[in-house]
Structure 1
Amino acid sequence: MTETRQSTDTPDAEALAHARDRDAGIVTCDACPVLCRIRPGRTGACDRYGNIEGRLTRLDPFVIAARAGKDGVIPFLGADWDGSPLSGATAFVTGIGAGTTYPDYKPAPFIVASEIDGVDMVTVVTEGIFSYCGLKLKIDTDRFLGPECAPVRVRGEQVGHVTTAEYGSQMLSLGGVRHLTGGSKKEGQVTCETLLTLANKGAVELAIDGGAHVVVQAGAAPIIDGVREERMRVGCGSATIGIFARQWFGHADEVIVVDDHITGVLTEHQAGRFLDMRPSGIRVRGRRSTPGRYFQVANPGTGWGGTDITDPLEIIERIDPKIAWPGLRLLMVSTTGEHAEWYVLDETLTPRPAPMPPGIAAVVERIGENCEPALVSVLFMAGAGGSLRAGVTDNPVRLTRSVRREVTRVTSGGAPVFVWPGGGITYMVDVRAMPDGSFGSVPTPALVAPIEFTLPLADYAAMGGHMDRVRPLASLRTEARLKAIPWDAANPWPLERSPA
């Protein structure tokens, strides 16, 4: 339970309020701008700090990630660790549970030195309080989720929007400062809760205006209107033609690959022409682009190839009797192979369903084999602002320049990040590469995320770093909250020196 201090008109009244708090054992948390007043035995609004015996105390673990040394041993992982000095070669101090630089004049809570291959290195560790942050979701599906720019909602509150679709994936942009702080209080709270759940690898149901209901979770298949998506398309209709043209040759007279973006027609396509295939005379609806490639054959939807059709013959505009012939063998297939029908033209040149030959069925099955599993990817994106950078150095622009020159390596919970070009330190990180439970929140509302800056100690001194706060890695053994977790071997080791 928390309280907020009411403003006072005079210094005497403020001093009296502080005295009352002391007498009641109340402590004021200064870890974020909310300034919770915490009674004994209670926690602040973020559940990260509490009043333990009259002292403001961080409650969750401070995480160090450890990797095995050359002998395969992780020296301090587990309950039998004897408190021996930490090994700089096998331990990386993350920002998870480290604390923040708020109020802004504070240096980072942990500035840790270690020796790597004879070089003195330093890692500056903190947690950022990010109002300017959001998530980018990549949802592997052809299916229509909603119009571009359509609002994305949780419990009726807008938390983001649909953005530009990419190859085989629909994209959402969630969060951002406008939804966190620029709307109603409820909008901000719901947005923050949504971001926190997704960033910590939980599941959330999203409703898209004019579109679908989607359950999303990092690393899991999306569930679209109650149906779990299984496959990401092998390519657009044109690409599918190019990949499998030789395998269809001699088994089919025409193949039409239905796709919301580019529908492919084999005999018109360059692949069919290189194979000297006889024109079929079958013309599909839509706007012809280059030979054998058609746009807008149908509306977006959840049917064949991400269109709104359930009967593929609907996209056939006409069959030219001067070119087509009875007995013509026609395959219509989607870009995932989940939809496929085999037809043979009768004497009136009408496509009639027929049993699919084994050779054709094998290629349809191969389309599916070449489709990767449909997954949801969640990337956290934030800007490391002035106050956070001031926790690293008294001249923050030097940190930015060092990051640009790749002298300083930026990580988040030890995971590699992509730093955007241009001004500032705006970065993205795949939440699946981060340890579980890396993110927290404060009720401003904002997300709390770990961030680490690693560089040679000499360069840190040259940029005006807080050298009086540098401490050896081994000194952390006295930290009561220290928790060691196994290093994710899929991530590059941050303490390896940059080639710059």
Structure 2
Amino acid sequence: MMTEHTKVDHSMENLDSVEPTTAGPTVLEKSKPRSANMAGNKVECNACPVLCQITEGRTGACDRWGNVDGVLTRVDPVVLMRRLADKNGSGPAVIPNGADAGESGADTGTDTDLFVSGVASGTTYPDYKPAPFIVASKARGVDMVTVVTEGIFSYCSFKVKIDTDRYLGPEQSNIRHKGEIVGHVTTAEYGSQMLSLGGVHHLTGGSKKEGRITCDVMMALGNKQAVELTIDGGAQLVVQAGKAPIVDGQEERRMRVGCGSATIGIFAKQWFGHVDEVIVVDDHITGVLSEHQAGKCLDIPPSGIKMKGRKSTPGRYFQVANPGNGWGGTDIADPLSIIESFDPKVAHAGMRVLITSTTGEHAEYYELDDALQMQRKDMPEVLHKVVERIGENCEPSLCSVMFLGGAGGSLRAGVTENPIWLTNSIKQSLTNVTCGGAPAYIWAGGGITVMVDVMRMPDNSFGYVPTPAIVAPIEFTMSAADYEKLGGHMDMVRSIDDIVKTERHHIIDWYDPASPWPLSTKPMLA
């Protein structure tokens, strides 16, 4: 996690094992002009606005840059991706450090099977200089260029989708971590609660502590770590990308199959003939089978039920209860509390009623007695099977974390001297944008606003600078001809073979059938 530092340095246990990089723009030599008050054994890091003065053998405040034998060096090796032919691990062999030219395919007619990602590549800050890596490659025999950097993002956030019917808190409520506001609850979506965390106002608009803790939360979420959150007037959460949410100490299991009305529509025919009335309890839309259009189409007679709440269209009720952690995301523990009565002119003794939640985790079966009072009975097996099927159709409850960042700022200078040409090239689909190799969605409108699923990115893709801001990998890939047309830094283009030979790097395998290979426009097939 981030520690507050300004113009200081600190030790890094593994720094002794780091060899200084001797080529490429990620290095600033010790002959760089020094500040008048800087000791002779220090180097000044200009990889972010903090300008740490780093003693030899130590790292700066971000833990990303260190002083190795008087040379400012990116501590972590740049991450390269090796394309695999299939999920069993077969495919091109790893290209060893110092491989002969041509082994990667960069200098031949074959496709390039290595991709240089932005993870640990270094930054363009101050952004007048070219990106750390501008890499030549081939895709389907076409000469390509990928511009690779770690962007410093002040304007960024994480959107968290939590698959649960459980009530988390009122919309617009503040979300806190260690007492500091780090985001807010936003509009719920179908079967999911949505959070917006981070953003420039929390990073820069509040106290130093708020900015620092917000940055901690954002970096942890991006790096797929668990984060504890508290919602004002709502729940306590533990969220982690790709894991089930924990709400008030309880791990969620199921995402609802649909709202109460949708559940009626899906399973009406399976209930037909086995029950006289079905109520599906839901925080937003509670469904009643006999009144619902699905029930009408099946000629299910009216039951005479009178529901609490506000009736919408037939068979659909709003506000039958308050939001909560009970049945169907409401605050009820007793399902009979949402029923006012039965019309004695319509209802009859022995009438069969099933009440269930939208996940099937709560379900009870009743029969009306002579006084038209609901009496709980053992659920018939045929109804029990349908309730189980509701649960079977519920997807596992998960947390999804999306990084959303504005890349329309000065990092574009690392690509071209005329940034608007890069923006236009992306909007014209001539340039593909990825983050750590993962496909990025580009929002419509002005600028380059990217959104990417952190689960598709390599582990530990995100860093920080103590301004505070988030550091995230980003890559721009286009044909070499298009790169030259948009005024790219052609004199800085390097082959992958050169990078493999001269740069400290780490190769990871890439196989994701749902994602395209970063140098391709088509998804990989299983």
In structure 2, what is the equivalent of residue 74 of structure 1? 92
What does 1:297-376 align with in structure 2 at a 5 Å threshold? 297-376=320-399
Counterpart of 1:31 (choices 47, 50, 59) is: 47
Counterpart of 1:218 (choices 241, 255, 275) is: 241
Matched, 1:18 2:18: no
SS at match of 1:483: strand
CA distance in 2, matches of 1:236, 1:189: 39
SS at match of 2:60: coil
In structure 1, what is the equivalent of residue 224 of structure 2? 201
CA shift digits 1:275-307 (9 cap, x unpaired): 101100012111111000001100000100000
Counterpart of 2:424 (choices 391, 401, 405) is: 401
In structure 2, what is the equivalent of residue 59 of structure 1? 75
CA distance in 2, matches of 1:339, 1:290: 25
CA distance in 2, matches of 1:82, 1:448: 29
Deviation at 1:470, TM superposition (A): 0.9
Counterpart of 1:4 (choices 4, 7, 12) is: 7
Counterpart of 2:496 (choices 454, 473, 477) is: 473
CA shift digits 1:224-252 (9 cap, x unpaired): 00001000000000000000000001111
Matched, 1:48 2:64: yes
Matched, 1:166 2:189: yes
**Does the CA contact (< 8 Å) of 1:135 and 1:379 recur in 2?**
yes
What does 1:42-441 align with in structure 2 at a 5 Å threshold? 42-68=58-84, 72-76=90-94, 83-85=99-101, 86-88=104-106, 89-441=112-464
Amino acid at match of 1:73: G
SS at match of 1:239: helix
**Does the CA contact (< 8 Å) of 2:84 and 2:511 recur in 1?**
no
Amino acid at match of 1:4: K
CA distance in 2, matches of 1:118, 1:198: 38
SS at match of 1:136: strand
In structure 2, what is the equivalent of residue 494 of structure 1? 518
Q: Give 5+ residue unaligned stretches, structure 2.
A: 9-31, 107-111
Matched, 1:446 2:443: no
TM-score by length of 2: 0.90
SS at match of 1:188: helix
Distance change (3 Å), C-alpha of 1:466 and 1:82: closer
SS at match of 1:18: coil
Distance change (3 Å), C-alpha of 1:146 and 1:409: same
Worse overlay, 36-45 or 60-69:
60-69
Q: Give 5+ residue unaligned stretches, structure 1.
A: 6-14
Amino acid at match of 1:366: R
**Does the CA contact (< 8 Å) of 2:98 and 2:502 recur in 1?**
no
Q: How many residues are paired up?
A: 487
**Does the CA contact (< 8 Å) of 2:184 and 2:196 recur in 1?**
yes
CA shift digits 1:328-374 (9 cap, x unpaired): 00000000000000000000000000000000000000000000000
TM-score by length of 1: 0.95
Worse overlay, 442-451 or 87-96:
87-96
Deviation at 1:496, TM superposition (A): 1.8
Deviation at 1:114, TM superposition (A): 1.3
CA distance in 1, matches of 2:198, 2:6: 27
Deviation at 1:118, TM superposition (A): 2.2
CA distance in 2, matches of 1:435, 1:128: 16
CA shift digits 1:167-215 (9 cap, x unpaired): 0000000000000110000000000000000100000110000000010
Deviation at 1:94, TM superposition (A): 0.4
CA distance in 2, matches of 1:254, 1:498: 50
SS at match of 2:430: coil
In structure 1, what is the equivalent of residue 484 of structure 2? 461
Name the % identity: 63
CA distance in 2, matches of 1:381, 1:273: 46
CA distance in 2, matches of 1:266, 1:117: 56
Deviation at 1:82, TM superposition (A): 6.0
Deviation at 1:498, TM superposition (A): 8.3
